[in-house]
Structure 1
Amino acid sequence: MSVSVILASSSPSRRRVLLQAGVNPNVSVSHVDEPAALEAAAARFGGRVADLDAKQRVEILARAKARAVASYYRSVAQVAADAHGEQVTAYPLQAPQVTDAGAGGVQSDETQTGSQSRFAGAKPPVADARFRPADVKHSSDGTSDIDRTVTQDFSGLAVPTRTEPLDEAMAGLHGFESSSHGPLIIGCDSMFLFGGETFGKPHTPQVARERLTAMRGKSGELWTGHCVIDFATGRELTEASHARVRFADYTDEQVEAYVSTGEPLEVAGCFTLEGLGGPFIESVEGDPSGVLGISLPLLRRLTGKLGIDWTWLWNWQNTSAVQPGFGSRPQAQDSDIELRVAAATSPQGRIRQPGDGWVECVCGSRHWGRHGAAGILLARRDERTGEVTDIVMQHRAQWSAEGGTWGIPGGAITAGETPIEGALRESYEEANITPDDIEVVGTHREEHGPWAYTTVIAFEKPGHRVDPHPNDDESLKIGWVPVPNVAGLKLLTAFRTDWPGFTERLDRLAREYKGK
């Protein structure tokens, strides 16, 4: 059995510990208001925050983070489960072959018509490995003379399609609520207890300087709360680990140099065991991985109590695919595709999710998403007439594939989620499109055999308003764009190809859509 893990933290240290233990988690930041969470918990106890000890505080915050992420995933799962309408699947690699002359033409109208009717009522076979778009010249080593991260333009081909009810298209797909266990959501929080005072992150150089000066030659306790929620069953366990840390008698100059690096500003206790601060720690008594922010022995015990064997969390293929040089574990292999890590031009420190990676497709392009990719085409309707007026558009970051173009928010699907769930998750993480405010009314899937992209079509629910804005570094801008203005933008190749069909379908869906 394989159980996926969702880490409710953007901490590089926690993710690194899990990776080194063979677990590549999906990272989902909780955005919990920590002071408010502590105040609410203290009020329930009938006291003040000052009355809470270190163990209570880290457990309260770990639980709040895990529950916030679990609640968000339940919203995603519910909206996906309520999705209705039709899925239109396009098979561009089964379009009539380009002529041998390579003049950009296609075969005769008679052949095109035959190809379209050939697939009526039945799924076409997988992509023809011989297919090559006319405008791509391949050298003897198999590379292209154009940037292969640019999606091929299939607008000149008669592409066969298949239409089926959405519930039938999604039947049998593995999603959030289809497993007996998982995904496993892990929330953590760390605090340092020194001299009877609880330290969180110092945030400023002055606070870090004062704390490091007070701590030298002495010891304190690092407490880390852990909350583990099994999404499938709803069962939840919370516990804390702790260890005693003794510091070296370092100099004022060393304190100043360490603070100037910025490393101690955003870590509990203003030190790191695995970073630049490591040489200034004399000893650790207790769980060392807990000092790094996440206790592996404690997690193993908690998952065991939930009926999940720790080895079920291992996803070595994922970790090796996104973490070059990770031990000697085997790289992921597939007879049809070659997996590649993200482009080296992406921002340093950017989190690589389990589904991230390039797929070498038989169409000659490299596609993003080891399990495919998906995005949300979200439309706003006129409250009076019901007509579609605007859609949410993303101005893509320059470092991304076809950077600087406009498209819809979305990204790589991760293992253990359906395309609809992946699109909902990605659009929230990228564009703040909140699942509870939208209704999925159909999908469009471009099928390449070893890879596919699913456009999830949605409307704002009546009485709801989505406020899209960039949530990460993948966008230059995100916002509502009037439908008449879309064609005038510099569009992502695939979206430019599909936009005329999308406008027709949006108009039809708007006439049919009743809303809830």
Structure 2
Amino acid sequence: MKLLLASASPARRQTLLSAGIDPWVAVSDVDEEAILDALRIANPQVSPTEQVSALANAKAQSIYQLVVQRREVGEPVPDALVACDSMFAFQGEVVGKPHSPKVAFERLRRMRGRSGELFTGHTLIDVSTGRSTSAVSKAVIHMGAMSDAQIKAYIATGEPLEVAGSFTIDGVGGPFIDSIEGDHHGVVGISLPTVRKMMVSLGLNIVDFWERDAGRPRPVQPPVRLLDQQ
């Protein structure tokens, strides 16, 4: 069976690869800011859980429509697809990707030596039935003490600019995460236990998505994107 990852995140794909699943990849073009603006207008106190859930569901449904179109013309489609979105909550503020070095620097200075919560929303769709389920994983992140020079050096790598919260645990930022309470994989971007449980709720079995050489070292190949399938 084949899983499609509705995300361009290399970390999410690598997490699945390490777990024996080599997914197809497709990236949705949903307007994330418009979705979040609509949520905040409807409820100014919208929670991080509601925000990541809404974004993950919108991404999944967008890609599912593409999958349906392909199936209708007889093209190959995956058996299931999963979409994710992550946000970091710190001192009552929900923060996403900083995008700029200035924002990342100010944010990391405030966060150093303190703790926050990382929320990752997941939506899984069974392509054969159209049934879907959603879940959110959460982890408390305890940030290490970083000097201004270390923050500048970290930002210079470019890594923190396009990740939720301005940090990673599986890359250059790893040494500055003192500890995690909760789901490690959810912090990377996709929670394997959460995906397993969602699959169970839809009558799917995660081991059916394993590749034949699951568990054996192998070179990482470029991702197969949905539109590449003929």
TM-score, scaled relative to structure 2: 0.93
Residue 455 of structure 1: aligned partner: none
In structure 2, the partner of 1:352 is: 223
CA contact (8 A) 1:19 1:319 kept: no
Specify every segment of 5 or more residues in structure 1 that has no aligned partner in the other structure, as ranges: 82-174, 177-181, 327-340, 342-350, 356-409, 414-421, 423-516
* In structure 2, distance between residues paired with 1:220 and 1:35: 22
Report if the CA contact (8 A) 2:19-2:215 is conserved: no
What residue in structure 2 maps to residue 266 of structure 1? 162
Q: CA separation of 1:233/1:219 partners in 2, compared to 1, >3 Å: closer, same or farther?
A: same
Q: Give 2:70's aligned residue.
A: 76
Q: Match of 2:63, SS?
A: helix
Task: Identify unmatched segments of 5+ residues in structure 2.
Answer: none
Question: Alpha-carbon deviation of 1:284?
Answer: 0.2
CA distance in 1, matches of 2:215, 2:74: 28
The structural deviation recorded for 1:78 is 1.7
Does structure 1 residue 222 correspond to structure 2 residue 92?
Answer: no
Q: For residues 96-135 of structure 1, what are the structure 2 equivalents within 5 Å?
A: none
CA contact (8 A) 2:98 2:104 kept: yes
- In the TM superposition, residue 80 of structure 1 has moved relative to its aligned partner by 3.2
Give the conservation status (yes or no) of the 8 Å contact 1:224–1:290: yes
Task: Tell me how far 1:290 sits from its aligned partner.
Answer: 0.3
Shift, 1:31, TM fit:
1.4
- Cα distance in structure 1, aligned partners of 2:35 and 2:216: 37
Instruction: Report SS of the residue matched to 2:169.
Output: coil
The alpha-carbon deviation at position 310 of structure 1 amounts to: 1.2
Q: Distance in 1 between matches of 2:96 and 2:179?
A: 21
Deviations 1:390-413 (A, max 9, x none): xxxxxxxxxxxxxxxxxxxx85x4
Residue 77 of structure 1 aligns with an amino acid whose one-letter code is R
**Which residue does 2:46 correspond to in 1?**
52
Q: What is the match of residue 278 of structure 1?
A: 174
Q: Mapping of 1:90-489 within 5 angstroms?
A: 175-176=76-77, 183-317=79-213, 323-324=218-219, 351-353=222-224, 411=228, 413=229, 422=230
2:224 is matched by which residue type in structure 1? Q
Number of matched residues?
Answer: 230
Q: What SS does the corresponding residue of 2:16 show, helix, strand or coil?
A: helix
- Rounded Cα–Cα distance in structure 2 between residues aligned with 1:263 and 1:225: 22
Check conservation: 1:201, 1:269, Cα contact below 8 A.
Answer: yes
Percent identity of paired positions between Structure 1 and Structure 2: 43
Supply the RMSD in Å over aligned alpha carbons.
2.2
Provide the rounded CA distance (Å) in 2 between the counterparts of 1:258 and 1:191.
20
AA in 1 matched with 2:175: P
Return the offset for 1:41. 4.4
| Paired residues of 1:17 and 1:294 also in contact (CA < 8 A) | yes
Q: How many angstroms apart in 1 are the aligned matches of 2:216 and 2:225?
A: 10
The ranges of structure 1 where at least 4 consecutive aligned residues each deviate by more than 6 angstroms after the TM superposition are: 318-321
What is the TM-score normalised by the length of structure 1?
Answer: 0.43
- The separation in 2 between residues aligned to 1:264 and 1:247, in whole angstroms, is 14
Post-superposition shift, 1:183? 1.4
Equivalent-residue separation in structure 1 for 2:223 and 2:59 (angstroms) = 21
**Distance between the aligned counterparts of 2:138 and 2:223, measured in 1?**
29
Aligned to 1:21: 19
| 1:52 shift after superposition | 1.3
Structure with more helix by fraction: 2
- Return the offset for 1:38: 2.3
The structural deviation recorded for 1:287 is: 0.4
Q: Report what 1:427 is aligned to.
A: none
Equivalent residue, structure 2, for 1:9: 7
* Inter-CA distance 271–316: structure 2 relative to 1 (3 Å threshold): farther
Alpha-carbon separation, structure 2, partners of 1:200 and 1:21:
27
Q: Which amino acid aligns with 2:143?
A: F
Tell which has more relative contact order, 1 or 2 (C-alpha 8 A, sep 6+): 2
The answer to whether the Cα contact below 8 Å between 2:26 and 2:225 also exists between their aligned partners in 1 is no
- Highest CA radius of gyration, 1 or 2? 1
CA distance in 2, matches of 1:74, 1:42: 31
